[in-house]
Chain A
Amino acid sequence: MVRSNRWVNLGFQLAALVLALLFTTLILLAAGAPPFDAYANILRGAFGSMINFTDVLAAWVPLLLTTAGLLITFAAGLWNIGVEGQIMLGAIFTTWVLRELQDTSMPPALIITLGILAGMIGGALWAMLAGALKTFGGVNEIFGGLGLNFVATALTLWLIFGPWKRPGVASMSGTVPFDDKLALPAFTGLRLSPWALGIAMIAIVIVYLLLQGTYFGLRLKAVGKNPKAAFLLGIPTWQYMMFSFVLCGLFAGAAGAMQVVAVYHRLIPSISSGYGYLGLMVAMLINYQALWAAPIAFFYAALNIGSIQLPIVLHLDSSLSGVLQGMLVLFVLLVEGARQRLMKKA
Chain B
Amino acid sequence: MGVGNLPMNVELKHIHKHFGKVHANNDIVLNVPSGTIQGILGENGAGKSTLMKVLSGFIQADSGEILLDGHPVTIHSPADAIQHGIGMLHQDPLDFPPMRALDNFLLGHSGGLFPDRKAVARDFKRLAAQFDFSLDPDSYVDSLTVGERQQLEILRLLWLGARVLILDEPTTGISAIQKAKLFETLRKLTAQGMTVIFVSHKLEDVEVLCHTVAVLRAGKLVGEVKAPFQTKKLVELMFGKEISLGARQAAGPGRSVLELRGVAIEDIRLRMSDINLSVRGGEVIGLAGMEGSGQGPFIRACAGLMRTVGGRVLVNDRDLTGKSYHAFKRNGVSFLPASRLEEGLVPGLTLTEHFVLSEETKGLFIDREGGRKLAEDRISSFNIRGTPLSTVESLSGGNQQRALLALLQDPLSLILLEHPTRGLDIESTIYIWNKLKERCKQGAAIIFISSDLEEILQYSDRVLVFFSGKVSSPLDASKTTVEQLGNLIGGKGWESLKTEKAHG
- A residues in contact (CB < 8 Å) with B: 209, 213-216, 218-219, 221-222, 225-226, 228-236
Secondary structure at the A interface, as helix, strand, loop or mixed, is helix
B347 touches A215 (CB 8 A): no
Chain A residues closer than 8 Å to B117, beta-carbon distance? none
Chain A residues closer than 8 Å to B442, beta-carbon distance? none
C-alpha spacing A45/B335, complex, angstroms: 60
Q: Given A218-B356, A218-B366, check contact A229 B345 (CB 8 Å).
A: yes
Chain B residues closer than 8 Å to A222, beta-carbon distance? 346, 349, 353, 357
B269 to chain A, nearest CB (A): 21
A242 to chain B, nearest CB (A): 16
B346 touches A226 (CB 8 A): yes
CB < 8 Å neighbour of A232 from B335, B348, B353, B363: B335
C-alpha spacing A222/B335, complex, angstroms: 17
A117 to chain B, nearest CB (A): 22
Chain A residues closer than 8 Å to B353, beta-carbon distance? 218, 221-222
Chain B residues closer than 8 Å to A218, beta-carbon distance? 349, 353, 356-357, 366
B343 to chain A, nearest CB (A): 5
A215 touches B366 (CB 8 A): yes
B343 touches A228 (CB 8 A): yes
CB < 8 Å neighbour of B346 from A215, A216, A229, A234: A229
Is B337 at the interface (CB under 8 A from chain A)? yes
Q: Given A213-B366, A232-B325, check contact A225 B347 (CB 8 Å).
A: yes
A289 to chain B, nearest CB (A): 13
Q: Given A234-B326, A234-B329, check contact A228 B365 (CB 8 Å).
A: no
A to B CB contacts below 8 Å, 9 in the list: A214-B365, A215-B361, A218-B353, A218-B357, A225-B346, A226-B347, A229-B345, A235-B357, A236-B326
Is B247 at the interface (CB under 8 A from chain A)? no
Is B177 at the interface (CB under 8 A from chain A)? no
B346 touches A230 (CB 8 A): yes
Chain A residues closer than 8 Å to B358, beta-carbon distance? 233-234
Chain B residues closer than 8 Å to A232, beta-carbon distance? 325, 335, 337, 343-344
19 further contact pairs, Cβ within 8 A, besides A214-B365, A225-B348, A231-B325: A209-B365, A215-B356, A215-B365, A215-B366, A218-B349, A218-B356, A218-B366, A221-B346, A221-B348, A221-B349, A221-B353, A222-B353, A226-B345, A228-B337, A229-B345, A232-B337, A233-B346, A233-B357, A234-B358
A213, A221, A226: most-surrounded residue (chain B CB, <10 A): A226
Chain A residues closer than 8 Å to B345, beta-carbon distance? 226, 229
A225 touches B325 (CB 8 A): no
CB < 8 Å neighbour of A229 from B325, B344, B366: B344
Is B425 at the interface (CB under 8 A from chain A)? no
CB < 8 Å neighbour of A225 from B349, B361, B365: B349
A214 touches B366 (CB 8 A): yes
A58 to chain B, nearest CB (A): 33
Chain B residues closer than 8 Å to A214, beta-carbon distance? 364-366
